[in-house]
Structures are given as structure tokens and as C-alpha cells.
Amino acid sequence: MKSVIHFRPLLWPSIFTLFSFIILILLGSWQVKRLFWKNEVTTNYTKQFEKEIIYYNKNLKFSNDFEFRRIRINGKFFHNKETLIIGKTFEGNVGFHLVTPILTNDNKIVLINRGWISEKLKLQKARRFTLIKDEIFIDGIIRKPQKKGYFVPNNDHDGGFWFTIKPSEIKDALGLEKYDFEKNFYVDSIRSKNKKTLPIGISGNPNFRNQHLSYAITWYSLAITLIIIYFVFHFKEKRLSIKRNRL
């Protein structure tokens, strides 16, 4: 017995399926690329975090190799120049990241991302406990200015809507031009291991969202499902058949 496949594909379903299949494969491959990139970032974070602590001073020459390094910085907060970063969550609760400039003993301004606060603490009068007047020591990690994501809006300086931490933009919007301002990086504050207080800073452990493998599997699965549906459709329309001929 010899099997003979007879297939008469319909034009438009074939064009649609081919186009959709290519798109799904590209999306899956893009997620695989993102997976390798995210794994590399996590590895680099761990490596950098374990290095010796940097003690900040105005003569510190920033290098790209500094990102994720631990840093200790001291000074006084400018609470009247706070910035709230919109759309941040902590354990499923929506809120903000509280970014406050600190004036160091060397008269230089550095932005400190102090951590997460809830929406009900948006106004300063609701969180007097965050308005520290005395000199303070901050332990944190160095972060380069954030890049806007594909679906993240631009910062609205006039409206006061901030979505990404970009020191240069924040400096201009808050009128801090007269100060010696650190534009190359900001600092993510590390929270105490013994207690969790607001604002809630980072833990210090690598906690990068990494769903890229599951996304890749989803896109590739949809591509395979699409092909199956395509051939089943043609089979039901009797445009795909398998006949067995005797030799």
C-alpha cells in the first residue's frame, strides 16, 4: 500500500496562516532572546552586589561598571523636591516609588529611590514619619537612569506624572539647576533586614521579573496550534485527504 496526500490549499486562509505563523515564531524567538538577556542581567547583578561597598563623595567618577554596586551615602533630604513614580506595586498593592533628592555633605545632590508607599500615603501630611529632618545614612545600590518601556508613557513634567526615573529630567523639572547634581545614576535604597518600614526599599536580592520562558512557550504553542487548525480546516473542507493506493 502506498499513501498519497492530496492537498488543495485555499488562497486567503493560507496567506493568513503563513503570515500569522511567522509573527508568532518571531514573538517566541524574541522572548527567548529576552530570556537570555534577563539571565545575564541577574548574573551581573549578583556579581556586582557582592563587590566592596562604595562610599560616596563628590569626586566619585561614575563608570557603567558601577551599576548594581552597593553604595553608602549620607546627607539631608530635600522633602519639598520629592517625585512620585506612578504605577508601582508591592505584594499586589498599588502605590508609588518615593524619590527624594539628598544633599550630601559635599554639597552634591543625588536622587534616592527610597522605596514603595501606598496610594493613601501620597500626600506628605499622611506620612509625616517619612519627612526625616536630620542627617541620614543610606545604604543602597547604584542604578543607571531608567529607560522607558514600549508601553510606558513619557514623563509629564508639567502635570507631575512620572513613570521612569531619569535624573536629568527630574533636575530640570524640580528647579535644581543651581546644585551640583548627579545625573549619571540614582540610588535604590536597601531596606533593613530586621524590619519592614515605609517606604519599603529593595531587599538587595535579585528580583527581576522573568516570565520570558513561559511567554516563549505560549507563542510557540500558538504557532503549532494555528498550523493544526489550518490543516483540520482543509480536511473538513475535503481539500486535504490521504488515499492509499495498491501497488
pTM: 0.78
Residue 102 in contact with residue 75, Cβ under 8 Å? yes
Q: Which helix (H) or strand (E) holds 170?
A: helix 167-174
Closest CA to 223 of 77, 4, 19: 19
CA distance 76 to 201: 18
Q: 12-23 pLDDT, tens per residue?
A: 999 999 999 999
End-to-end CA distance of the chain: 6
Across 202-223, b (16+ Cβ under 10 Å) vs e yields bebeeeeebebeebbeebbebb
Grid-cell match 522573568, residue found? 210
- Residues 33 and 49: their CA atoms lie apart, in Å, by 24
The CA–CA distances, whole Å, from 139 to 10, 73, 75 equal 65, 7, 12
How confident is the prediction along the chain (247 residues), in pLDDT tens digits per residue? Answer: 677 788 899 999 999 999 999 999 999 999 999 999 999 988 888 899 999 999 998 888 888 889 999 999 999 999 999 999 999 999 889 999 999 999 998 889 999 999 999 999 999 999 999 999 999 999 999 999 999 888 899 999 888 899 999 999 999 999 888 889 999 999 999 998 767 789 999 988 777 778 899 999 999 999 999 999 999 999 999 888 887 766 5
3-state helix, strand, coil in the chain (%, to 5): 35, 30, 35
**By the 8 A CB rule, do 77 and 127 touch?**
no
